[in-house]
Amino acid sequence: MTGVVRALPAVAAAIADGRAVVALESSVFAQGLPIPANKTAARSMVEAVESRGAVAAITAVVRGIPAAGLTAEELERFLARDGIVKVSARDLALAIARGTDGATTVAAAIRLAHLAGIEVFATGGIGGVHRAPPFDESADLAELARTPVIVVCSGAKAILDLRATAERLDSLGVTVIGYRTAELPAFYGAESGIAVPRVDELSEIVAIYRAQRALGASSALLVVQPPPSPFALPASVVERAVVEGVRESTRAGIQGSAITPFLLAYVDKATAGRAREVNLALLEQNAALAASIATALAR
Protein backbone atom coordinates (compact mmCIF):
# COMPACT_ATOMS: atom_id res chain seq x y z
CA MET A 1 0.00 0.00 0.00
CA THR A 2 1.11 3.57 -0.78
CA GLY A 3 -0.97 5.53 1.71
CA VAL A 4 -4.60 4.56 1.05
CA VAL A 5 -3.82 3.37 -2.48
CA ARG A 6 -2.65 -0.14 -3.34
CA ALA A 7 0.35 0.09 -5.64
CA LEU A 8 1.70 -2.89 -7.54
CA PRO A 9 5.25 -3.83 -6.44
CA ALA A 10 6.90 -2.30 -9.53
CA VAL A 11 4.94 0.92 -9.07
CA ALA A 12 5.59 1.11 -5.32
CA ALA A 13 9.32 0.48 -5.82
CA ALA A 14 9.58 3.19 -8.46
CA ILE A 15 7.77 5.70 -6.26
CA ALA A 16 9.96 4.84 -3.26
CA ASP A 17 13.13 5.18 -5.35
CA GLY A 18 12.06 8.47 -6.93
CA ARG A 19 11.97 6.95 -10.42
CA ALA A 20 9.62 7.97 -13.21
CA VAL A 21 5.99 6.80 -12.94
CA VAL A 22 3.04 7.75 -15.15
CA ALA A 23 -0.55 7.25 -14.01
CA LEU A 24 -3.25 6.37 -16.54
CA GLU A 25 -7.03 6.36 -16.23
CA SER A 26 -9.06 3.17 -16.68
CA SER A 27 -12.38 4.68 -17.78
CA VAL A 28 -11.06 5.29 -21.29
CA PHE A 29 -10.53 1.52 -21.54
CA ALA A 30 -13.69 0.36 -19.75
CA GLN A 31 -16.15 2.96 -21.08
CA GLY A 32 -14.50 5.32 -23.56
CA LEU A 33 -13.37 2.95 -26.30
CA PRO A 34 -15.16 -0.06 -27.73
CA ILE A 35 -13.80 -3.61 -27.65
CA PRO A 36 -11.17 -4.45 -29.03
CA ALA A 37 -9.88 -0.87 -29.51
CA ASN A 38 -9.73 -0.50 -25.72
CA LYS A 39 -7.19 -3.32 -25.45
CA THR A 40 -5.12 -1.80 -28.24
CA ALA A 41 -5.10 1.55 -26.43
CA ALA A 42 -4.12 0.02 -23.08
CA ARG A 43 -1.27 -1.91 -24.63
CA SER A 44 0.05 1.02 -26.69
CA MET A 45 -0.09 3.48 -23.78
CA VAL A 46 1.70 1.13 -21.38
CA GLU A 47 4.35 0.33 -23.99
CA ALA A 48 4.83 4.03 -24.77
CA VAL A 49 5.48 4.72 -21.08
CA GLU A 50 7.73 1.73 -20.46
CA SER A 51 9.79 2.20 -23.65
CA ARG A 52 10.86 5.59 -22.29
CA GLY A 53 12.07 4.23 -18.99
CA ALA A 54 9.05 5.00 -16.84
CA VAL A 55 6.59 2.73 -15.02
CA ALA A 56 2.92 2.76 -16.06
CA ALA A 57 0.24 2.69 -13.34
CA ILE A 58 -3.34 2.25 -14.52
CA THR A 59 -5.61 3.60 -11.78
CA ALA A 60 -8.88 1.98 -10.75
CA VAL A 61 -10.94 0.77 -7.82
CA VAL A 62 -10.47 -3.00 -7.74
CA ARG A 63 -13.26 -4.70 -5.80
CA GLY A 64 -13.28 -1.79 -3.40
CA ILE A 65 -9.53 -1.23 -3.27
CA PRO A 66 -8.17 2.00 -4.79
CA ALA A 67 -5.26 0.96 -6.98
CA ALA A 68 -2.28 2.35 -8.86
CA GLY A 69 -1.42 -0.43 -11.26
CA LEU A 70 -3.48 -3.43 -12.34
CA THR A 71 -2.44 -7.06 -12.57
CA ALA A 72 -2.88 -8.79 -15.93
CA GLU A 73 -6.03 -10.53 -14.68
CA GLU A 74 -7.48 -7.28 -13.33
CA LEU A 75 -6.81 -5.43 -16.58
CA GLU A 76 -8.50 -8.17 -18.61
CA ARG A 77 -11.55 -7.91 -16.35
CA PHE A 78 -11.74 -4.16 -16.84
CA LEU A 79 -11.29 -4.48 -20.60
CA ALA A 80 -14.15 -7.01 -20.70
CA ARG A 81 -16.32 -4.37 -18.95
CA ASP A 82 -18.72 -6.74 -17.21
CA GLY A 83 -19.81 -5.16 -13.93
CA ILE A 84 -17.36 -2.27 -14.25
CA VAL A 85 -18.84 1.07 -13.21
CA LYS A 86 -17.59 4.53 -14.11
CA VAL A 87 -16.06 6.26 -11.10
CA SER A 88 -15.38 9.99 -10.80
CA ALA A 89 -13.70 11.62 -7.81
CA ARG A 90 -17.00 12.01 -5.98
CA ASP A 91 -17.71 8.28 -6.39
CA LEU A 92 -14.47 6.93 -4.94
CA ALA A 93 -15.65 6.54 -1.35
CA LEU A 94 -18.88 4.88 -2.47
CA ALA A 95 -17.02 2.44 -4.70
CA ILE A 96 -14.61 1.58 -1.89
CA ALA A 97 -17.35 1.06 0.67
CA ARG A 98 -19.39 -1.14 -1.68
CA GLY A 99 -16.45 -3.22 -2.92
CA THR A 100 -17.06 -2.10 -6.48
CA ASP A 101 -14.95 -2.59 -9.61
CA GLY A 102 -14.68 1.02 -10.72
CA ALA A 103 -13.01 2.49 -13.80
CA THR A 104 -11.55 5.88 -12.92
CA THR A 105 -12.23 9.05 -14.91
CA VAL A 106 -9.62 11.82 -15.15
CA ALA A 107 -10.90 13.34 -11.89
CA ALA A 108 -10.70 10.08 -9.94
CA ALA A 109 -7.43 9.02 -11.58
CA ILE A 110 -5.51 12.17 -10.67
CA ARG A 111 -6.89 11.98 -7.12
CA LEU A 112 -5.56 8.42 -6.74
CA ALA A 113 -2.29 9.30 -8.48
CA HIS A 114 -1.67 12.16 -6.07
CA LEU A 115 -2.52 10.02 -3.05
CA ALA A 116 -0.09 7.37 -4.29
CA GLY A 117 2.71 9.88 -4.80
CA ILE A 118 2.63 9.89 -8.62
CA GLU A 119 3.20 13.32 -10.15
CA VAL A 120 2.52 12.74 -13.86
CA PHE A 121 -0.68 11.55 -15.52
CA ALA A 122 -1.60 10.98 -19.17
CA THR A 123 -4.96 10.80 -20.89
CA GLY A 124 -6.61 11.62 -24.21
CA GLY A 125 -8.79 14.61 -23.42
CA ILE A 126 -10.13 16.11 -20.22
CA GLY A 127 -13.79 16.81 -19.53
CA GLY A 128 -15.10 20.34 -19.57
CA VAL A 129 -18.17 22.49 -20.18
CA HIS A 130 -20.83 20.89 -22.39
CA ARG A 131 -22.33 22.72 -25.34
CA ALA A 132 -26.01 22.01 -24.81
CA PRO A 133 -28.28 23.03 -21.92
CA PRO A 134 -28.01 22.62 -18.99
CA PHE A 135 -24.32 23.16 -19.87
CA ASP A 136 -23.04 20.50 -17.50
CA GLU A 137 -19.49 20.91 -16.23
CA SER A 138 -17.19 17.94 -15.79
CA ALA A 139 -15.81 17.14 -12.34
CA ASP A 140 -12.40 16.97 -14.06
CA LEU A 141 -12.15 20.77 -13.93
CA ALA A 142 -12.67 21.08 -10.18
CA GLU A 143 -10.26 18.22 -9.53
CA LEU A 144 -7.61 19.82 -11.73
CA ALA A 145 -7.98 22.96 -9.61
CA ARG A 146 -7.15 21.12 -6.38
CA THR A 147 -4.74 18.34 -7.33
CA PRO A 148 -1.06 19.25 -7.89
CA VAL A 149 0.01 16.88 -10.67
CA ILE A 150 1.16 17.23 -14.27
CA VAL A 151 -1.61 16.23 -16.67
CA VAL A 152 -0.74 15.53 -20.31
CA CYS A 153 -3.61 15.56 -22.81
CA SER A 154 -4.78 16.82 -26.20
CA GLY A 155 -7.00 19.48 -24.67
CA ALA A 156 -10.65 18.94 -23.82
CA LYS A 157 -12.81 16.54 -25.79
CA ALA A 158 -14.00 18.17 -29.03
CA ILE A 159 -17.64 17.45 -28.18
CA LEU A 160 -17.40 20.17 -25.52
CA ASP A 161 -17.49 23.95 -25.64
CA LEU A 162 -13.72 24.44 -25.85
CA ARG A 163 -13.70 28.19 -25.31
CA ALA A 164 -15.97 27.96 -22.26
CA THR A 165 -13.79 25.15 -20.92
CA ALA A 166 -10.63 27.21 -21.40
CA GLU A 167 -12.23 30.17 -19.62
CA ARG A 168 -13.32 27.93 -16.75
CA LEU A 169 -9.80 26.55 -16.37
CA ASP A 170 -8.55 30.13 -16.23
CA SER A 171 -11.12 31.03 -13.55
CA LEU A 172 -10.09 28.01 -11.50
CA GLY A 173 -6.42 28.99 -11.69
CA VAL A 174 -5.27 25.95 -13.68
CA THR A 175 -2.11 26.70 -15.66
CA VAL A 176 -2.32 25.45 -19.26
CA ILE A 177 0.78 25.25 -21.47
CA GLY A 178 1.20 23.94 -25.01
CA TYR A 179 4.02 21.54 -25.77
CA ARG A 180 5.44 22.82 -29.06
CA THR A 181 2.15 24.53 -29.84
CA ALA A 182 0.75 27.98 -29.09
CA GLU A 183 -2.85 26.87 -29.51
CA LEU A 184 -5.14 24.75 -27.38
CA PRO A 185 -5.68 21.55 -29.39
CA ALA A 186 -9.22 20.59 -30.35
CA PHE A 187 -8.66 16.92 -29.49
CA TYR A 188 -9.28 15.44 -32.96
CA GLY A 189 -7.44 18.38 -34.56
CA ALA A 190 -4.74 20.92 -33.80
CA GLU A 191 -6.71 24.15 -34.19
CA SER A 192 -9.16 25.77 -31.80
CA GLY A 193 -8.27 29.44 -32.09
CA ILE A 194 -7.55 29.54 -28.35
CA ALA A 195 -4.04 30.73 -27.48
CA VAL A 196 -1.87 29.08 -24.82
CA PRO A 197 1.75 29.75 -23.76
CA ARG A 198 4.13 27.64 -25.84
CA VAL A 199 6.88 25.51 -24.25
CA ASP A 200 9.39 23.66 -26.40
CA GLU A 201 11.59 21.87 -23.85
CA LEU A 202 10.84 19.22 -21.23
CA SER A 203 13.14 21.00 -18.79
CA GLU A 204 10.91 24.09 -18.88
CA ILE A 205 7.81 22.01 -18.15
CA VAL A 206 9.58 20.57 -15.11
CA ALA A 207 10.72 24.05 -14.04
CA ILE A 208 7.16 25.42 -14.28
CA TYR A 209 5.78 22.53 -12.26
CA ARG A 210 8.45 22.90 -9.56
CA ALA A 211 7.80 26.64 -9.40
CA GLN A 212 4.09 25.95 -8.89
CA ARG A 213 4.85 23.59 -6.03
CA ALA A 214 7.29 26.03 -4.45
CA LEU A 215 4.56 28.69 -4.54
CA GLY A 216 2.18 26.34 -2.75
CA ALA A 217 -0.21 26.01 -5.70
CA SER A 218 -2.74 23.23 -5.25
CA SER A 219 -3.73 23.04 -8.91
CA ALA A 220 -2.52 20.80 -11.72
CA LEU A 221 -0.23 21.82 -14.55
CA LEU A 222 -2.08 21.00 -17.78
CA VAL A 223 0.28 20.19 -20.65
CA VAL A 224 -1.47 19.99 -24.02
CA GLN A 225 -0.25 18.81 -27.41
CA PRO A 226 -2.11 18.34 -30.70
CA PRO A 227 -2.79 14.86 -32.08
CA PRO A 228 -0.21 13.40 -34.49
CA SER A 229 -0.57 15.31 -37.76
CA PRO A 230 -1.10 12.24 -40.00
CA PHE A 231 -4.26 11.43 -38.02
CA ALA A 232 -5.66 14.90 -37.26
CA LEU A 233 -9.10 15.73 -38.65
CA PRO A 234 -10.13 19.08 -40.19
CA ALA A 235 -11.99 21.29 -37.75
CA SER A 236 -14.97 21.61 -40.12
CA VAL A 237 -15.45 17.83 -40.27
CA VAL A 238 -15.40 17.48 -36.49
CA GLU A 239 -17.62 20.50 -35.88
CA ARG A 240 -20.28 19.27 -38.27
CA ALA A 241 -20.32 15.82 -36.63
CA VAL A 242 -20.46 17.29 -33.12
CA VAL A 243 -23.28 19.72 -33.93
CA GLU A 244 -25.31 16.89 -35.46
CA GLY A 245 -24.54 14.68 -32.46
CA VAL A 246 -25.62 17.32 -29.94
CA ARG A 247 -28.86 17.83 -31.88
CA GLU A 248 -29.51 14.08 -31.90
CA SER A 249 -28.70 13.67 -28.19
CA THR A 250 -31.15 16.47 -27.35
CA ARG A 251 -33.84 14.87 -29.51
CA ALA A 252 -33.26 11.51 -27.79
CA GLY A 253 -33.33 13.04 -24.30
CA ILE A 254 -29.84 11.85 -23.41
CA GLN A 255 -28.47 13.60 -20.32
CA GLY A 256 -25.78 13.51 -17.63
CA SER A 257 -22.98 10.97 -17.82
CA ALA A 258 -24.55 9.32 -20.89
CA ILE A 259 -23.93 12.38 -23.09
CA THR A 260 -20.16 12.00 -23.52
CA PRO A 261 -20.10 8.34 -24.65
CA PHE A 262 -23.08 9.00 -26.95
CA LEU A 263 -21.40 11.96 -28.64
CA LEU A 264 -18.04 10.21 -28.96
CA ALA A 265 -19.72 7.25 -30.64
CA TYR A 266 -21.73 9.56 -32.90
CA VAL A 267 -18.62 11.47 -34.04
CA ASP A 268 -16.78 8.21 -34.67
CA LYS A 269 -19.63 6.92 -36.83
CA ALA A 270 -20.01 10.24 -38.66
CA THR A 271 -16.29 10.22 -39.56
CA ALA A 272 -16.30 6.57 -40.67
CA GLY A 273 -14.05 5.52 -37.81
CA ARG A 274 -11.41 8.20 -38.37
CA ALA A 275 -12.16 9.79 -35.01
CA ARG A 276 -11.29 6.55 -33.25
CA GLU A 277 -8.00 6.37 -35.14
CA VAL A 278 -7.13 9.86 -33.94
CA ASN A 279 -8.09 8.93 -30.39
CA LEU A 280 -5.82 5.87 -30.36
CA ALA A 281 -2.92 7.83 -31.85
CA LEU A 282 -3.14 10.73 -29.41
CA LEU A 283 -3.49 8.43 -26.40
CA GLU A 284 -0.20 6.76 -27.29
CA GLN A 285 1.49 10.09 -28.05
CA ASN A 286 0.35 11.64 -24.77
CA ALA A 287 1.56 8.61 -22.79
CA ALA A 288 4.95 8.96 -24.46
CA LEU A 289 5.21 12.67 -23.64
CA ALA A 290 4.12 12.03 -20.05
CA ALA A 291 6.83 9.40 -19.68
CA SER A 292 9.46 11.80 -21.01
CA ILE A 293 8.29 14.48 -18.56
CA ALA A 294 8.28 12.00 -15.66
CA THR A 295 11.81 10.92 -16.55
CA ALA A 296 12.98 14.53 -16.67
CA LEU A 297 11.24 15.24 -13.36
CA ALA A 298 12.97 12.29 -11.71
CA ARG A 299 16.48 13.44 -12.68
pLDDT reading at 80 higher than 70? yes
Instruction: Return phi, psi of residue 156, to 5°.
Output: -85, 155
pLDDT of residue 1 exceeding 90: no
pLDDT for 260 equals 80
Alpha carbon distance, N-terminus to C-terminus of the chain: 25
pLDDT tens column, 153-181: 999 998 899 999 999 999 999 999 999 99
Q: Which CATH architecture has domain 6-298?
A: 3-Layer(aba) Sandwich (3.40)
CA distances from 4 to 68, 100, 115, 123, 181 (A): 10, 16, 7, 23, 37
Q: Out of 11-20, 110-119, 230-239, 289-298, which region has the weakest mean confidence (pLDDT)?
A: 230-239
* 157 is known as an active-site residue: yes
pLDDT tens figures, 248-280: 988 998 877 778 888 888 999 999 999 999 999
Out of 74, 157, 277, 284, the active site residue is: 157
Paired strand residues for 199: 179
Question: d(Cα 218, Cα 212) in Å, to the nearest integer?
Answer: 8
pLDDT band at 70 (very low <50, low <70, confident <90, very high): very high
Question: Which residue ranges make up each domain of the chain?
Answer: 6-298
Cα-based distances in Å from 201 to 206, 217, 293 = 9, 22, 10
Instruction: Round the average pLDDT of the chain to a whole number and report it.
Output: 95
Catalytic member of 25, 74, 119, 284: 25
DSSP string, 3-18: TTBEE-HHHHHHHHHT
**Cα–Cα distance, 188 to 227 (Å, whole number):** 7
The pLDDT tens digits of the residues spanning 86-121 come to 999 999 999 999 999 999 999 999 999 999 999 999
> Is residue 2 predicted with pLDDT exceeding 80?
no
Assess whether 277 carries a catalytic annotation.
no
pTM metric for this prediction: 0.95
